[in-house]
């Protein structure tokens, strides 16, 4: 073999060892400078050891690693290496020098870095700090049981929350877990128990105050249950909702919480035959104990009736999404209140929009541009009300002196608006919490009860008596 061929073969072996190092130690970057030069030099020293003759003893110079040792006799035949795949291994005969070198380098790396934080210079890893490598099998359930002076079955019951455990024993197990630094392997637990311990949560318009409050309620309700939520956004699109639900089912979630949305009822009926499902903030006939919601008809009636009681008869309705169930039911309550007061319904006072602040701005601009007379506004939600308030100000109309304004949801900012906004309070957090607890009970075939939650009219300073 020529000198050039020997150099090429040696470099190939170095590359293979580097690949194996990365495979076993993913936190180590042996391909980027200066780490590459450091480790290549060590590997080259090992591979470039002097032979005592064909078939004789081979001396592996480990001076770079701090020691020198005579190795077992090996054949003079160089190990073969297939260049087609980086995962190809060197020939197993004889006891390969490659394996010996790899073990030596790996051992050296562990000795030099074990237990310490190391920085891995790499153009792909932002030179971040990497902590000590985890040691597999350091703490077992038996270790916890021995430390807490309880049985393994008691530890298992505490981990899985499968049955009641004496409080003193539970405290001892939890203290042992903390002391020993034990973290449960959720994947192993899910495989053993046949559950993923995750729940799929389909929400709408992530970032919306109302849906964020519902999501916070879900998180509260799942606290202490061992379940974790996976959130997806339906974006008020049936196709997106359907795709999101398929994604969640593909993740093997144990149950579904569908917040709002517009999934057809027939699809929902098929869905709950496959997986435990609860619908939140939406009323569905036949789903009486599988959905939690508020009475939007009554809420729409209360908001409109409040404005009528203050003498208003020209009440504009900023409706929201036309096909949305909440918008439909609030519209029904609005019409009911008008009819009871003997006020004729005027379609010119109804603006078809969505649930965004921009929709409120556009609604007021449209009403003013058309010359439609109105003295009060009932907005689809608080965001729409805020947008309407801004547009009214731009047109020189004051709230409540010129136009009274009522919102819906009672999001946190409503009480601090100028003026503070009169609105219908939806118990969003409470709905999310109740739904989360119910879905866990449904999964475990335990009793639960879901009911229609009441709304409350929050009377503030955005409504004044008509003069």
In a shared domain, residues 19 and 113: yes
Q: What CATH number did the domain enclosing 176 receive?
A: 1.10.260.40
Number of domains into which the chain is organized: 4
What is residue 378's three-state secondary structure?
strand
Could you tell me which of 396, 416, 411, 394 has the C-alpha nearest to residue 462?
Answer: 416
**Each residue of 383-415: pLDDT tens digit?**
999 999 999 999 999 999 999 999 999 999 999
* CB under 8 A, 24+ apart: contacts of 413-416: 413/209, 413/382, 413/386, 414/382, 414/385, 414/458, 414/460, 415/458, 415/460
Residue 67 has a CB neighbour count (10 Å cut-off) of 11
For the CA atoms of 147, 148, 153, 156, the dihedral, rounded to the nearest 10 degrees, stands at -90
Category of 75 on φ-ψ map: left (φ > 0), alpha (ψ -120 to 50) or beta: beta
In a shared domain, residues 287 and 302: no
- Domain C-terminal end among 292, 315, 330: 292
Q: What CATH number did the domain enclosing 207 receive?
A: 3.40.50.2300
Residue 467, in any domain of the structure: no
Residue 449, in any domain of the structure: no
**Each residue of 447-459: pLDDT tens digit?**
999 989 999 999 9
Could you tell me which of 462, 294, 326, 293 has the C-alpha nearest to residue 393?
Answer: 462
Residue 56, in any domain of the structure: yes
Strands 69-70 and 58-60: antiparallel
Rounded-to-integer distance, Cα 120 and Cα 239, Å:
44
In a shared domain, residues 19 and 59: yes
Residue 436, in any domain of the structure: no
In a shared domain, residues 243 and 308: no
Residue 320, in any domain of the structure: yes
Strands 69-70 and 129-130: unpaired
In a shared domain, residues 247 and 326: no
Residue 445, in any domain of the structure: no
In a shared domain, residues 259 and 369: no
Q: Which residues contact 240 (CB under 8 A, 6 or more apart)?
A: 233, 234
In a shared domain, residues 300 and 278: no
Vertex 44 angle, CA 42 and 47, to 5°: 115
**Domain residue limits at 286:** 196-292
In a shared domain, residues 287 and 303: no
In a shared domain, residues 311 and 383: yes
Burial (CB count <10 Å: 0-12, 13-18, 19+), residue 207:
exposed
In a shared domain, residues 119 and 161: no
Could you tell me which of 280, 293, 273 has the C-alpha nearest to residue 200?
Answer: 280
In a shared domain, residues 96 and 21: yes
Burial (CB count <10 Å: 0-12, 13-18, 19+), residue 314:
middle
Would the pTM count as exceeding 0.85?
Answer: no
Q: Tokens for 45?
A: 């020293």
Vertex 331 angle, CA 317 and 352, to 5°: 50
Tens-binned pLDDT, residue by residue, of the chain (467 aa): 555 555 445 545 555 555 555 554 444 444 445 555 555 555 555 555 434 333 333 333 333 344 434 444 444 444 443 344 444 333 333 445 555 555 555 555 555 545 444 444 333 334 434 344 444 456 788 888 999 999 988 988 887 766 688 899 989 998 988 888 877 665 555 545 567 889 999 998 888 889 999 999 999 999 989 899 999 999 888 899 999 999 999 989 999 999 988 889 999 999 999 999 999 998 888 898 999 999 999 999 999 999 999 999 999 999 988 888 899 999 999 999 999 999 999 999 999 999 999 999 999 999 999 999 999 999 999 999 999 999 999 999 999 999 999 999 999 999 999 999 999 999 999 999 999 999 999 999 999 999 899 999 999 999 999 98
Backbone angles phi, psi at 320, to 5 degrees: 95, -170
Residue 351, in any domain of the structure: yes
Let me know: does 53 contact 59? Beta carbons within 8 Å. no
Residue 465, in any domain of the structure: no
Let me know: does 321 contact 355? Beta carbons within 8 Å. yes
List, as one string, the DSSP characters of 223-278.
TTTS-EEEEEE-TT-HHHHHHHHHHHHHTT-SEEEEES----HHHHHHHHHHS-EE
In a shared domain, residues 306 and 410: yes
Q: In what order do the strands lie in the sheet with 376-379?
A: 350-352, 315-320, 376-379, 404-409, 422-425, 456-458
């Amino acid at each position: 073999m020529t000198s050039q061929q020997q150099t090429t073969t040696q470099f190939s072996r170095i590359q293979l060892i580097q690949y194996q190092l990365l495979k076993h130690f993913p936190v180590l970057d042996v391909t980027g400078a200066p780490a590459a030069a450091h480790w290549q030099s060590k590997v080259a020293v090992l591979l470039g050891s002097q032979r005592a003759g064909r078939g004789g003893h081979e001396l592996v110079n480990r001076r770079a690693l701090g020691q020198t040792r005579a190795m077992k006799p090996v054949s003079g035949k160089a190990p073969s290496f297939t260049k087609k795949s980086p995962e190809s291994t060197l020939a197993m005969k004889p006891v390969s020098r490659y394996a010996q070198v790899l073990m030596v380098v790996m051992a050296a790396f562990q000795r030099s870095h074990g237990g310490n934080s190391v920085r891995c210079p790499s153009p792909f890893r932002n030179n971040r700090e990497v902590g000590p490598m985890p040691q597999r099998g350091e703490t077992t359930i038996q270790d916890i049981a021995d430390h807490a002076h309880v049985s393994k079955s008691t530890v298992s019951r505490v981990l899985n929350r499968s049955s009641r455990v004496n409080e003193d024993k539970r405290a001892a197990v939890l203290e042992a877990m903390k002391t020993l630094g034990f973290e449960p392997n959720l994947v192993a637990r899910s495989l053993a128990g046949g559950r993923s311990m995750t729940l799929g949560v389909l929400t709408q318009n992530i970032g919306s105050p109302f849906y964020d409050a519902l999501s916070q309620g879900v998180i509260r309700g799942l606290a202490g249950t061992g379940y974790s939520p996976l959130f997806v956004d339906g974006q008020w699109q049936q196709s997106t909702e359907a795709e999101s639900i398929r994604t969640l089912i593909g993740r093997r979630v144990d149950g579904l919480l569908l917040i709002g949305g517009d999934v057809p009822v027939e699809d929902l009926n098929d869905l709950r035959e496959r997986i435990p499902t609860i619908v939140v903030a939406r009323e569905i006939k036949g789903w009486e104990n599988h959905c939690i919601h508020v009475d939007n008809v009554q809420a729409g009636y209360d908001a409109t009736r409040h404005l009528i009681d203050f003498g208003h008869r020209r009440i504009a309705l900023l409706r929201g999404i036309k096909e949305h169930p909440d918008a439909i039911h609030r519209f029904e309550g609005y019409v009911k209140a008008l009819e009871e007061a003997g006020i004729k319904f005027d379609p010119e006072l109804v603006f078809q929009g969505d649930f965004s602040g921009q929709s409120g701005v556009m609604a007021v601009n449209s009403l003013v541009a058309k010359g439609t007379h109105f003295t009060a506004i009932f907005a689809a939600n608080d965001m729409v009300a805020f947008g309407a308030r801004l547009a009214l100000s731009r047109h020189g109309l004051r709230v409540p002196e010129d136009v009274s304004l009522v919102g819906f949801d009672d999001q946190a900012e409503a009480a601090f608006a100028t003026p503070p906004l009169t609105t219908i309070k939806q118990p969003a957090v409470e709905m999310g919490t109740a739904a989360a607890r119910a879905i866990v009970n449904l999964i475990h075939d335990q009793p639960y009860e879901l009911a229609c939650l009441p709304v409350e009219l929050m009377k503030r300073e955005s409504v004044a008596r008509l003069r």
